[in-house]
Every structure is written in structure tokens, then in C-alpha cells.
């Protein structure tokens, strides 16, 4: 899937591609990448299933090899919702 993100003020746009890779869904914003990868070949955002758990990995610094954030999304499952009544 390819799309263009538009800033709320309309001043800036970024083309983005979402691709299914062997490791999961990778988000490729044009002009953003990962350490050790050629420009345009790696997305800094990955949604994966790891050991049965859905998680989001983010590389927010192109100069660091390891992801800066690994967010476990299991608490966001709909069956985890507490009844507020």
C-alpha cells in the first residue's frame, strides 16, 4: 500500500509505503531509514508477531543499530477491555 501523509497545517507531505515482509509489516516513509541499510531499503517501523505477541518496533535514530522502542501491544487486545459498568 502506498499513501501520502499530510501535515495538519498542510505545509508538509511524506510519501509512505506499507509492505508485507517475512518479518512482519514494515512502514517505509520516504527519506527515513535504519542503521547499516542503504537509503530507501529499510523502514524504521515494524509491526510483528514475536513469540505469540503482537509488538511494534521503532528505530528513531538512524545512527543506532537496535530499535529505540519495542512496544508490546497485547494490552490493547479487545478481549483485555475492562467492563466500565
Per-10-residue mean pLDDT of the chain, 85 residues long, equals 92 95 94 93 95 97 97 96 79
How close are the terminal C-alpha atoms of the chain, in Å?
40
Angle at 55 between CA 5 and CA 16, to 5 degrees: 20
Place of cell 490493547: 76
Nearest residue to 44 via CA among 56, 31, 32:
32
Q: What is the DSSP letter of 74?
A: G
pTM for this entry: 0.87
> Does residue 81 belong to any structural domain of this protein?
no
Neighbours of 14 (CB within 10 A): 13
Place of cell 543506532: 64
The pLDDT of residue 3: 96
> Does residue 80 belong to any structural domain of this protein?
no
> Does residue 82 belong to any structural domain of this protein?
no
The pLDDT of residue 17: 96
The pLDDT of residue 20: 94
Per the structure, the count of domains in the chain is 1
The pLDDT of residue 85: 60
Residue range(s) defining the domain that contains residue 39: 2-74
> Does residue 68 belong to any structural domain of this protein?
yes
C-alpha span between 39 and 36 (Å, rounded): 9
> Does residue 25 belong to any structural domain of this protein?
yes
> Does residue 83 belong to any structural domain of this protein?
no
Amino acid at each position: 500500500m502506498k499513501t501520502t501523509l499530510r501535515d495538519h497545517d498542510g505545509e508538509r507531505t511524506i510519501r509512505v509505503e506499507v509492505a508485507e515482509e517475512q518479518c512482519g509489516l514494515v512502514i517505509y516513509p520516504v527519506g527515513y531509514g535504519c542503521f547499516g541499510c542503504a537509503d530507501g531499503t529499510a523502514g524504521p517501523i515494524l509491526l510483528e508477531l514475536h513469540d505469540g505477541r503482537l509488538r511494534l518496533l521503532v528505530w528513531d535514530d538512524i545512527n543506532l543499530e537496535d530499535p529505540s522502542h519495542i512496544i508490546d501491544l497485547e494490552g490493547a487486545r479487545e478481549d483485555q477491555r475492562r467492563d466500565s459498568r
